[in-house]
Amino acid sequence: MQEFTKLTGVAAPMPLVNIDTDMIIPKQFLKTIQRSGLGKNLFDEMRYNPDGSEIPEFVLNQPAYRDAQIIVAGDNFGCGSSREHAPWALLDFGIRCVISTSFADIFYNNCFKNGILPIVMPPEVVEVLMEDARRGANARMTVDLESQTVTTSDGQSFPFQVDSFRRHCLMNGLDDIGLTLEKAASIDGFERDLATLRPWV
Amino acid sequence: MTAPRTLYDKIWDDHVVHQSEDGTCLLYIDRHLVHEVTSPQAFEGLRMTGRKVRAPEKTIAVPDHNVPTTEGRDTKIDNEESRIQVEALDKNARDFGINYYPVSDIRQGIVHIVGPEQGWTLPGMTVVCGDSHTATHGAFGALAHGIGTSEVEHVLATQTLIQKKSKNMKVEITGSLRPGVTAKDITLSVIGLTGTAGGTGYVIEYCGQAIRELSMEGRMTVCNMAIEGGARAGLIAPDEKTFAYVMGRPHAPKGAAWEAALAYWKTLYTDEGAQFDKVVTIRGEDIAPVVTWGTSPEDVLPITATVPSPEEFTGGKVEAARRSLEYMGLTPGQKLTDIKIDTVFIGSCTNGRIEDLRAAAEILKGKKVAPGMRAMVVPGSGLVRAQAEEEGLAQIFIDAGFEWRLAGCSMCLAMNPDQLSPGERCASTSNRNFEGRQGRNGRTHLVSPGMAAAAAITGHLTDVRDLMTAPAEPA
Ligand code: SF4
């Protein structure tokens, strides 16, 4: 996993609430058996006409936002299915950070497994960041995981909270499975107890 | 004495392998269900790192999302990408030695229907699957939730999951439901009330008389959609109905093991005085047959209502409602019962069980679908299908003009050929009405099986209660 420490980049405003995983990556793109290559289909049905041409109004099709690395979104981003294809598609497009007032639980989890930082901010802060994002490509936002702050293009800084374990993993690009396997002895012990306590499991 | 605990607390406590100082836990996973869409990259990850499946005997795989639901699929799947995914699952199941129900097996079906049916899902267990509707298994008093593919790989390799405990939420449905009102109406009404983010950060325990009075099938329908309310999982305390459902299933314990399990299962309830962080109470009598009008499962209204106008909402929801109405092609003030339907889908892990088919058949008996209606029943598993055939339900559907399909997810997410065309409008017993969910620019109204059957007959959204009072047999 690619580590995340500090990012300065263009933020795309997506004020819509309840942006669900079917919007982020429609199911016809879940048929892949790989993780990569989904970026071109990110937000597919919002981004392209049925004939494959781009819908110019869609934010990521606008010249100012084609290289966006951050999304500032409306409430409850990522609701719906557990498909990790959603963060894979975001990452493949180049998005490393999403900011919203709230995220759906599974999506939130999935982001951390893929080097994407989801940031929860109060509504009034999201409002300010949304305004900043609307200013386009010259307004670059800075997200600093080390100091846990987001800074707008005009220098306003806002702190955010993130779970310390997840922050540690993200900053160091650590593989969860490797970390867990270090606790193999505890798992062995648990399974031994389970065999007597709940042998039917 | 320990402090009073909720059902969630108890199951959680019994599965903690390791707890870090910051509260992050390593949680033991008793059952891991796997399907073809969210697992290929996880198995690939194992191969790349030379890791094995730690507990293949606790891992169960079945293809469901992508499989066609028409005859001949066990020899040939036309869509190449779907075929590759199903073949990949075949191979992964073989290579890693996990339990497997291929398409050719009568026990194949939607993973959340197969798990309980085969007795893999038992009270007090932790159950995960790379699918958000894993919440379904909570109906047994099992802590069950969806995970992403990285976590699928994590569970395959370690039989554990890194988790932080959620908060406790109680949803109580008091009293009894009125005739024509079902588990689907309960679960949609709860989401209508709390919103799709209302449960975020919580595990919901559903309780109250109306929940107790539901069958296991109905309880699965309720828990299934906990995720649509944003919750990590839904739970219902096990009781005699649960034990009766589980007993004798292929993978349920037998003999002395059964007795020991039963003794443990009977301890699985929320203690008197246990604290919930949030409580929602709804009177069962107040719940009507409902339908969704928009593109979020929280867009719920009683069938007797009219299409709302965006101005009735606040904040970001105003714009979302406007977008929804445009997408759905609806006008504020229009009566919901005036909305014409061209497709009816009965199936999915929400409403693809035998009781659901019985409820729909009850309404359809001796009737015909409206002219031009495309109507489809996709049983949740091969066994549900066989049972429905034995009970004569299949014939009722066929006589009414429904297609009688093989088991799978089908038009619930339309990854297989069963899809809506642009502008087509569907009364569906599934769980998501998102834009494009059932096909690009397709329009979905979520309903109960009885309501779906009623819409199939009349050709528009219909109050199922109007058809229940009508004579059962045509003249
Ligand atoms: S039936 Fe629908 S919701 Fe259920 S597992 Fe299949 S695709 Fe998911």
- Angle between the N-to-C axes of helices A85-93 and A105-112, in degrees from 0 to 180, rounded to the nearest 10: 50
Distance CA B82, CA A31 (A): 6
Res B469: pLDDT: 64
The CA–CA distances, whole Å, from A81 to B134, B376, B421 equal 11, 24, 22
Question: Which of B28, B132, B258 lies at the smallest CB-CB distance from A82?
Answer: B132
Q: Is B10 an interface residue toward A (CB < 8 Å)?
A: no
B41/A20 touch (CB, cutoff 8 Å), yes or no: no
Q: Residue A15 is nearest to which of B85, B316, B440, comparing CB atoms?
A: B316
Which of B206, B204, B208 minimizes the C-alpha distance to B169? Answer: B204
Q: Do A26 and B436 touch (CB under 8 A)?
A: yes
The CA B161 to ligand 1 mean position distance, Å, reads 23
Domain ranges of chain B: 7-278, 289-467
Q: Is A168 strand, coil or helix?
A: helix
Inter-chain residue contact B150 with A114, CB threshold 8 Å = yes
* Rounded distance from Cα B431 to ligand 1 centre (Å): 8
Show residues of chain B in contact with A81, CB under 8 Å.
Answer: 131-132, 146, 413, 432
Q: What is the pLDDT of residues B427-448, one digit of tens each?
A: 999 999 999 999 999 999 999 9
The residue among B126, B191, B434, B443 with the most chain A CBs within 10 A of its CB, best to mutate, is B434
d(CA B466, CA B475): 18
On whether any CB of chain A is under 8 Å from the CB of B279, the answer is no
Give the full edge-to-edge strand order of the sheet including B99-100: B99-100, B59-61, B31-34, B126-129, B143-146
E strand or H helix at A174, and its extent? none
Contact A45 B434 (CB under 8 A): no
List of chain A residues with pLDDT < 70: none
CATH topology assigned to domain B7-278: Aconitase; domain 3 (3.30.499)
Determine the Cα–Cα distance for residues B129 and B132; give it in Å rounded to an integer: 8
CA distance B31 to B33: 6
Cβ atoms of B59 and B29 closer than 8 Å: no
Distance from CA of A94 to the nearest CA of B (A): 19
Q: Does B22 touch chain A (CB under 8 A)?
A: yes
Which of A148, A160, A92 shows the shortest CA–CA distance to A120? A160
Look at residue A77 in the predicted model and tell me its pLDDT.
97
Closest residue in B to A107 (Cα–Cα): B148
Ligand 1 center–CA B2 separation, angstroms: 39
Tens digit of each residue's pLDDT (9 = 90 or more) over A103-117 = 999 999 999 999 999
Asked if residue B437 lies in contact with residue A22, where contact means CB atoms within 8 angstroms, the answer is: yes
Cβ within 8 Å, pair B230-A106: no
Residue A135 phi, psi dihedral angles, 5° rounding: -80, -5
CATH of domain B289-467: 3.30.499.10
Q: Which of A80, A103, A164 sits opposite B22 (nearest CB)?
A: A164
Pocket of ligand 1 (CB under 6 A): B 64-65, 110, 112, 131, 133, 348-349, 409, 412-413, 430-431
Question: How far does residue B407's CA lie from ligand 1's centre (Å)?
Answer: 12
Nearest CA distance, A171 vs chain B (angstrom): 17
Find the B224 Cα to ligand 1 centroid distance in Å: 10
pLDDT of B75: 84
> Which among B133, B429, B446 is the best mutation to test ligand 1's pocket, defined by most ligand atoms within 8 Å of the CB?
B133
pLDDT value, residue B473: 46
The alpha carbon of residue A128 is apart from the nearest alpha carbon of chain B, in Å, by: 15
Angstrom CA distances, B193 to A57, B189, B199, B288, B300, stand at 34, 6, 11, 13, 9
Phi-psi region of A20 (alpha: psi -120 to 50; beta: other; left: phi over 0): beta
- Strand order from edge to edge, sheet including B160-163: B16-19, B25-28, B160-163
Domains B7-278 and B289-467 share a fold: yes
- Contact flag A200-B122 (C-beta cutoff 8 Å): yes
**Fold topology of A6-197:** Aconitase; domain 4 (3.20.19)
B432 touches chain A (CB under 8 A): yes
Q: Rounded to a whole number, what is the distance in Å from the CA of A117 to chain B's nearest CA? A: 16
Annotated binding-site members of B for [4Fe-4S] cluster: 349, 409, 412
Contact A141, A13 (CB under 8 A): no
The single-letter code of the amino acid at B105 is: D
* CA gap B369, B409 in Å, rounded: 23
Per-residue pLDDT of chain B (475 residues; tens, 9 = 90+): 679 999 999 999 999 999 998 889 999 999 999 999 999 999 999 998 899 999 999 999 999 999 999 999 988 898 998 999 999 999 999 999 999 999 999 999 999 999 999 999 999 999 999 999 999 999 999 999 999 999 999 999 999 999 999 999 999 999 999 999 999 999 999 999 999 999 999 999 999 999 999 999 999 999 999 999 999 999 999 999 999 999 999 999 999 999 999 999 999 999 999 999 999 999 999 999 999 999 999 999 999 999 999 999 998 899 999 999 999 999 999 999 999 999 999 999 999 999 999 999 999 999 999 999 999 999 999 999 999 999 999 999 999 999 999 999 999 998 888 899 999 999 999 999 999 999 999 999 999 999 999 999 999 999 999 998 654 444 4
| 3-state SS, one letter per residue, for B132-152 | HHHHHHHHHCCEEEECCHHHH
- The residue of chain B with its CA nearest to that of A49 is B440
HEC string of chain B equals CCCCCCHHHHHHHCCEEEECCCCCEEEECCEEEECCCCCHHHHHHHHHHCCCCCCHHHEEECCCCCCCCCCCCCCCCCCHHHHHHHHHHHHHHHHHCCEECCCCCCCCECHHHHHHHCCCCCCCCEEEECCHHHHHHHHHCCEEEECCHHHHHHHHHHCEEEECCCEEEEEEEECCCCCCCCHHHHHHHHHHHHCCCCCCCEEEEEECHHHHCCCHHHHHHHHHHHHHHCCCEEECCCCHHHHHHHCCCCCCCCHHHHHHHHHHHCCCCCCCCCCCCEEEEEEHHHCCCEEECCCCCCCEEECCCECCCHHHCCCHHHHHHHHHHHHHCCCCCCEHHHCECCEEEEEHHHHCCHHHHHHHHHHHCCCCCCCCCEEEEECCEHHHHHHHHHCCHHHHHHHHCCEECCCCCHHHCCCCCCCCCCCCEEEECCCCCCCCCCCCCCEEEECCHHHHHHHHHHCECCCHHHHHCCCCCCC
Give, for A147, the enclosing helix (H) or strand (E): none
Please tell me the distance from the alpha carbon of residue A170 to that of residue B380, in angstroms, as a whole number: 40
Within 8 A of B85 by CB-CB distance, chain A residues are 31, 33
ipTM score of complex: 0.91
- What pLDDT, on a 0 to 100 scale, did the predictor assign at position B354? 98
Cα separation of B144 and B131, whole Å?
11
